[in-house]
Amino acid sequence: MKTQSSGLLSASTDLQAAKQAQHRAYPFRSELSLAPLVAFWTRTSATEGSTKAALARIVADEVQKAPELLGTIDDLAVIARHAELVDLLMTAVFPAAQWEEAYGAALVPFQLRAFYATPSTGRLLISGDGLVRGRVNLDEARVIAAKAAYGYALILRRLYGLDVHLDFPVVLTVPDPGTGLDRHFRLLFDWQFVDVESVGDLPELPDEIRRNPQAKLLDPASLRDVLPPDRFVLRGVTIMKALEVTDQEVLSALKRDLIDRESIVSNDQFLGLQQGLRTLFRRPDLHLGLTAIDGERVLLLNEGSGHAHACIFADSAHHRTSEFAGSLFERAVRTGQPVVIDDVAALPSRTWIEDEMLRYGKRNLVAAPLHYQDRIIGTLNLSSPHPGDIDATHLPKLAEVLPLFSMAVRRSMDELNARIQTQMKEKFTAIHPVVEWRFRKAVLDTLEREGDLSSLELNPIIFDNVYPLYALADIRGSSTEREIAIHADLQAQLDLARNVIRAAHDARRLPALDHLLYLIDKQAAELDHHAAGGDEDVVTFLRTDVESLLDHVAEFGPAVRAHVEAYRGALDPHLGVVYQKRRIFEESVTTVAETIGAYLDLEEQAAQGIYPHYFEKQKTDGVDHQLYVGGSLVEGNQYDPIYLKSLRLWQLMVVCGVAARADRLTATLPVPLRTTHLVLVQNTPLSIHFRFDEKRFDVAGAYDVRYEIVKKRIDKALVRGRNERVTQPGKIAIVYSHPTEAVEYRGYIEYLQHLRYLGPEVEDLDLEELQGVHGLRALRVTVTLESPESEAPLAAHALPSAEPGTTAAWR
């Protein structure tokens, strides 16, 4: 392809056909000539006394013997006849020290046709006919536009003296003949040895272009009429330098590809990522593998996964972290650093993982952890059938790609989690954060089993050996107060109705109106004598017998009309009844419930820091709350009885705070409501299961049902022999079944008495049997309602310096 000692290329010698074909696509006439290069040497020879000048004079003398190099060269045989002289001329642009390693060539101006090249360029970048081979990052139309723009830039600089600059980044991609892998080169063109000649008079340049020539270069078509291409000749030689940018191009491509949400779950795109890494590491037999770590699960992604669902979970092989114990993957995750194995076969001890790799012919391996926000979320694994293919010298390159794959794995896991969250919300509604992990595990187990998120049939979700902590703040006499308010409103409405009918009867003495007055009085009397019911009958009577007449009797006169308007004005616009007393009562109840609920929410946030637990509260006429505590509720199952004791003490302190707040609230309420407080103790653990139909937790097992029965009935329990409820305002009743429970809570009471949460006296009470439940007892103690300690929010206490009466000492 080239002479033994020269950079000359033995391509086709006839440039005429090439020139004609090129002229059809390129508007300017371009000709090959070494005259500008010779002129460079001639200018150098003018420097008297220098070594370079002596060499330049030798060149000038030799050129005089080869004048054909100074004219237009249409036949490369002219170059070949003067090979040694051309080699000498080319030392101006291709230094001998860089000759073997540099990538460079001399081209026909504005053509990708070389006649001279460095050895590495000739081997890799130039085809047999002298054309630059490979593919560029520009399509054909942009290549033509770029060449025209560069031509005009040269004309504007050389002939019009305008300072214009243009840069089209051109990247050439060629396959390496040794590996078959792509290599990428940034092409840099030097036109200093290209002269520009004007054919005829130099065209006049409009002021508009002179003022802003740079803008016109990007639209060569706009310059064509002003500067017709046939009025110029571009003659000389273009110098092309090629700078390898394979690493940069591969990294940029990986960044672009990994942005795609399916980059690691689409089979084609995954293979594209693998090919990019092969190119980056110059290893054609490299194989890519990815793992994602999700709790106890390890999801293996590789080119053999048969990606079909665009989901990292569905398109991966599933394993448990325990299966990787002792393997090189476990070592990479544990140390947080890449592990390089030159030859897996040479390992002194292997787990089943390494044996499986050998079975598939993988000898060389790198396992590198993927980090996201200081947490390892998976590994990137490179393997090769050739021992030592990847070694420690490749780790710097590997470090550049690991963050890219970390983001892709994180995004895929986030998308999986989003899909799981959607399914969980559809099937379970709101889930307490503490147990959310268990529901997520149930969804993943089912997905792993069935492979489809759309038709999930989950296995039962059960938590065994959990301890319930139940407490109730109930409004004493709320049912009675509600009945009083209801009857007061109904009596008020009957009075208003009586006023309307009496005024109508006064206006027109109709016997039916007198009968209606009798019926209203009868309803009022029955309402007084039957305080427990009859309200629906009264409302029905008023709507049927009274309100149906209002429009008609309003025409009896102004006095009747005024009473009709008063009746209608007193009705609630949404309920259609008088609702004044009931509204005042309900607002008082709501105020109590919201105050207690807000306080519980605040304290619950702090209590989760003691030990994660399931918490729920319910607002009715008051607020009850329940905790479930146990190792099975917490992922990892780390539990100690000290957490149960701490939460029991926390709950008792909180109930003191609830009692103090409710008591202070009483004086501010329109209806002065008082609350009673109860804590139910159970030392025996129970099992709870999630009821999918009702979307809530319930106890599992016949024995555990007893606890639920006690919860529902305990607030009505009476002290044996006294006809007195165990719950009383200003006091806390701690209901228990076993003496050991009383001993534990007496210790808490003594501590809270020391902190002035509770009064000094403790009652030990037997309770009357409840239906289906017997043997209950209670400790009852008075809350020191005036104590500031019981009023202070526990969650607000500073942790480092615990004052008496705070939870900081035991948190």
Q: Which helix (H) or strand (E) element contains residue 625?
A: strand 622-629
Q: Which long-range contacts (CB under 8 A, 24 or more apart) does 269-277 make?
A: 270/301, 270/302, 270/303, 270/305, 270/307, 271/303, 274/303, 276/250, 277/250, 277/382, 277/401
User: Measuring CA to CA, how many Å separate 716 from each of 308, 707, 721, 770?
Assistant: 61, 15, 15, 9
Angle between helices 395-428 and 267-281 (to 10 degrees): 160
The pLDDT confidence band at residue 798, using thresholds 50, 70 and 90, is very low
What residue has token string 């950079």?
A: 7
3-class state of residue 617 by DSSP: strand
- Which helix (H) or strand (E) element contains residue 236? strand 232-236
By DSSP bridging, strand 375-384 and strand 622-629 are unpaired
Residue 736 belongs to what H/E stretch? strand 731-736
> Would you say residue 573 has pLDDT above 60?
yes
Tokens of 70: 């100074």
The pLDDT value recorded for residue 451 is 59
User: Side chain identity at 579, as an amino acid letter?
Assistant: Y
Q: State mean pLDDT over 361-374.
A: 94
Residue 101: DSSP 8-state: T
Domain residues of the chain, as ranges? 16-242, 248-411, 479-578, 584-796
Decide: 110 and 30 in contact? Cβ < 8 Å. yes
CATH class assigned to 248-411: alpha beta
The C-alpha atoms of residue 15 and residue 2 are separated, in whole angstroms, by 17
What is the rounded CA–CA span in Å between residue 165 and residue 153?
A: 7
Segment 153-184, tens digit of pLDDT:
999 999 999 988 888 899 999 999 999 999 99
Residue 113 near residue 131 (C-beta atoms within 8 A): yes
The mean pLDDT value for 414-441 works out to 76
Residue 14 has what pLDDT? Answer: 57
Structure-block tokens of residue 185: 């080169």
In this predicted structure, what is the pLDDT of residue 534?
A: 58
Contact by Cβ (8 Å): 164, 214: yes
What is each CA distance from 645 to 10, 346, 656, 747, in whole angstroms?
Answer: 92, 55, 17, 11
Residue with tokens 């060389």: 364
Residues facing residue 382 across a β-bridge:
288, 366
The residue type at 217: L
CB neighbours (10 Å) of residue 790? 25
Q: What is the pLDDT of residue 767?
A: 92
Residue 4 banded pLDDT, cuts 50, 70, 90: very low
- Binned at pLDDT 50, 70 and 90, residue 305 comes out as very low
pLDDT of 370 over the 60 cut: yes
Find how far residue 126's CA is from the centre of its chain.
48
Task: Lowest mean pLDDT of 27-36, 229-238, 277-286, 310-319, name the range.
Answer: 310-319
Average pLDDT of the chain to the nearest whole number: 86
Helices (H) and strands (E) in the chain, counts: 26, 26
Q: How many CB atoms lie within 10 A of CB 315?
A: 21
Question: Which residue do the tokens 């409302």 mark?
Answer: 539
Return d(Cα 458, Cα 452) in angstroms, integer.
Answer: 12
Average of per-residue pLDDT across 652-674: 92
- Residue entry with tokens 């190099």: 69
**pLDDT at residue 250 above 70?**
yes
15 band by pLDDT with thresholds 50, 70 and 90 = low
How much is the pLDDT for 1? 36
Mean pLDDT of 710-736: 90
Nearest by Cα to 68 from 93, 91, 85: 85
Backbone angles phi, psi at 401, to 5 degrees: -95, -20
Which region among 155-169, 356-370, 503-517 has the lowest average model confidence (pLDDT)?
155-169
Q: Which residues contact 292 (CB under 8 A, 6 or more apart)?
A: 298, 299, 301, 312, 316, 377, 378, 409, 412, 413
* Of residues 222, 353, 198, the one with CA closest to residue 289: 353
Identity at 712, one-letter amino acid code: K
Question: Is the predicted pLDDT of residue 686 greater than 70, yes or no?
Answer: yes
Look at phi and psi of residue 182 and say left if phi exceeds 0, alpha if psi is from -120 to 50, else beta.
Answer: beta
> Measuring CA to CA, which residue among 809, 793, 811 is closest to residue 801?
809
pLDDT given for residue 20 in this prediction: 52
Question: Rounded to an integer, what distance in angstroms lies between the CA atom of residue 330 and that of residue 336?
Answer: 10
